[in-house]
Amino acid sequence: MKKLLLLSVIIFGAFYSASAQYYYSKNNTSTVKIGFGISSGFATGPVSGAFPEAGAITANLELPLGKSPVSVLFQTGYTFYVSGGGYDVGFGYGYYAGTEYYGRIASFIPVEAGLKVYVAPRVFIAGLAGVSFNVNSYSSAYTGNANAFVYSPMLGYSFPFGYRGKSDLDLSLMYENRPETGGGYSQVGLRAVWNFGL
């Protein structure tokens, strides 16, 4: 029974590998892409009580490794966490006339690098890691670290668009974590990235 199971796994692996190689050799354009994305989600961990909502705006560069299903990713952008009750800007009248701000936003700029791997036609996993910079009004605002390690794994699907077939829309489920002593900032969200072939 064990030998039959092992043989089945070997046959399946060989078939999958051959199918993947055929797919990528026929369909992978090996195009360098620049992408712009947005994500929306919710905070997890200790920070979720004070900053329950989270999101990001990103820009990335994707460099395919030949005809393989692997690409190198470079990404930066703006990640934010919004305080409970949201954030709003208003205008006061009378003695307190002037601009008034309601709520808080914890803001960070991550700079990351990583890999994107197509595990099946148009299905990918990706992982990024790098440094997250605190860009709030002063370096210790909302955090004990001005700079901290950050990582973000994701699982997604790539939808083709454009008449040349070099552009696509990546939709993915992502997790981002900026660990710090006593907590840190982490989120789960849905991410959409428009990639344009260069």
Among 47-56, 92-101, 108-117, which range has the highest average pLDDT?
Answer: 108-117
Report the DSSP pairing between strands 105-120 and 98-102.
Answer: unpaired
Provide CB contacts within 8 A for 69, sequence distance 6+: 20, 24, 28, 117, 118, 119
Going by pLDDT thresholds of 50, 70 and 90, the confidence category of residue 76 is very high
Inform me whether the pLDDT recorded for 12 exceeds 80: no
pLDDT digits (tens, 9 = 90+) for 13-63: 544 554 444 444 444 557 899 999 999 999 998 888 888 999 999 999 999
Q: For residue 161, what pLDDT is reported?
A: 81
Inform me whether the pLDDT recorded for 5 exceeds 90: no
Alpha-carbon distances of 66 from 71, 120, 160, 169, rounded to whole Å: 9, 17, 19, 21
What is the torsional sign of CA 71, 188, 55, 128? negative
Q: For residue 110, what pLDDT is reported?
A: 97
Average the pLDDT over 86-96 and give the result: 56
Going by pLDDT thresholds of 50, 70 and 90, the confidence category of residue 93 is low
Going by pLDDT thresholds of 50, 70 and 90, the confidence category of residue 74 is very high
Inform me whether the pLDDT recorded for 92 exceeds 80: no
Q: For residue 95, what pLDDT is reported?
A: 54
Asked whether the beta carbons of 67 and 24 are under 8 A apart, the reply is: yes
> HSE (CB half, 13 Å, CA atoms) of 38?
1
Please give the residue that has the higher pLDDT: either 64 or 2.
64
Closest-CA residue to 189 (of 151, 160, 152): 152
pLDDT digits (tens, 9 = 90+) for 128-187: 999 999 888 765 567 777 889 999 999 999 999 876 668 899 999 999 999 987 678 999
Please give the residue that has the higher pLDDT: either 135 or 114.
114
φ, ψ (nearest 5 deg) of residue 156: -155, -175
Quick one: tokens of 106?
């914890």
- What DSSP designation does 48 have? G
Length of the chain in residues, anyone? Answer: 198
Asked whether the beta carbons of 150 and 130 are under 8 A apart, the reply is: yes
